[in-house]
Amino acid sequence: QKEVEQNSGPLSVPEGAIASLNCTYSDRGSQSFFWYRQYSGKSPELIMSIYSNGDKEDGRFTAQLNKASQYVSLLIRDSQPSDSATYLCAVRPPGGSYIPTFGRGTSLIVHP
Amino acid sequence: EAQVTQNPRYLITVTGKKLTVTCSQNMNHEYMSWYRQDPGLGLRQIYYSMNVEVTDKGDVPEGYKVSRKEKRNFPLILESPSPNQTSLYFCASSFSGQETQYFGPGTRLLVL
């Protein structure tokens, strides 16, 4: 059973702080990892994808992957109220299967 | 504009009355998927398609049908809807071998 676990939150951080969102996965052979942002009532939109161990930075966002620990995280620097949303972690298993498994999401609240 | 469209966006129906939710993409994507999203359960895949006439079950296919007669369209059919199919439905598409999924705006379905 493929599982992707996220803390449902809400995670509350003050404006300007670093928000840290975490995700663990059960399928050790997974190769592709994604973070989506979803505003209430809207569709998910991709923020970051990461495939190799280490860090990947894009603007205020940094994705971190540790395959040995089966752990992927998303850091949001200088958090803004507009970052308030649910963040979904998705993991694509190995073997060519197209089916990504989504975590249940972490709700982030950035307060002024 | 590259996009995934879904219709209708909102639908209220009664138990047993067949309905179809349409999904169309204009990006020439090969892969298309249907998800449902329920509070506390996250995104769960219903069906996916890797190309015309090629479809496969996701994690929660019971009570749903799909067809892929054209590359751009991937309708979701509920032949006999039941109240437990009340949910928010998303269609998504991506290039073959590409990782990023583009989501439609969602269809909110209420089955009475």
- Identify all chain A residues contacting B31, using CB atoms and an 8 Å cutoff: 98
pLDDT exceeding 90 applies to what percent of chain B?
Answer: 82
Q: Does A100 score more than 90 pLDDT?
A: no
Confidence label for A1 from pLDDT (cuts 50, 70 and 90): low
Q: What is the mean pLDDT of residues A94-109?
A: 82
Tens of pLDDT, residues B21-54 = 999 999 999 999 999 999 888 899 999 998 899 9
CB–CB contact B43 A102 (8 Å):
yes
Confidence label for A98 from pLDDT (cuts 50, 70 and 90): low
In Å, how far is A90's CA from the nearest CA of chain B? 10
Q: What angle do CA A69, A73, A75 make, to 5 degrees?
A: 145
Confidence label for A9 from pLDDT (cuts 50, 70 and 90): confident
What is the dihedral angle through the alpha carbons of B32, B25, A38, B12, rounded to the nearest 10 degrees? -90
- pLDDT at residue B1, rounded to an integer: 83
Tens of pLDDT, residues B90-100 = 999 988 655 68
Q: Which of B59, B90, B99 is facing A49, going by the closest CB pair?
A: B99
Best of B29, B31, B43 to disrupt the A interface by mutation (most A CBs within 10 Å)? B43
Q: How far apart are CA A45 and CA A60, in angstroms?
A: 16
Tens of pLDDT, residues A22-53 = 999 998 888 889 999 999 989 999 999 999 99
- pLDDT at residue A96, rounded to an integer: 60
Spatial CB neighbours of A57, under 8 Å, sequence gap ≥ 6: none
- pLDDT at residue A6, rounded to an integer: 95
In Å, how far is A32's CA from the nearest CA of chain B? 8
In order of A6, A73, B1, B109, the CA distances from B43 in angstroms are 13, 19, 26, 15
Residue in chain A lying closest to B88 (CA):
A41
- pLDDT at residue A93, rounded to an integer: 76
**Per DSSP, what are the bridge partners of residue B93?**
B32, B102
Structure tokens at B18: 């067949």
pLDDT exceeding 90 applies to what percent of chain A?
Answer: 79
Q: What is the mean pLDDT of residues B73-77?
A: 98
Residues B48-64: b if buried by 16+ CB within 10 A, e if exposed: bbbeeeebeebebbeeb
Confidence label for B66 from pLDDT (cuts 50, 70 and 90): very high
- pLDDT at residue A27, rounded to an integer: 87
Tens of pLDDT, residues A54-68 = 999 999 999 999 999
- pLDDT at residue B42, rounded to an integer: 86
Mean pLDDT of chain A: 92
Q: Which of B48, B58, B100 is facing A46, going by the closest CB pair?
A: B100
CB–CB contact B44 A102 (8 Å):
yes
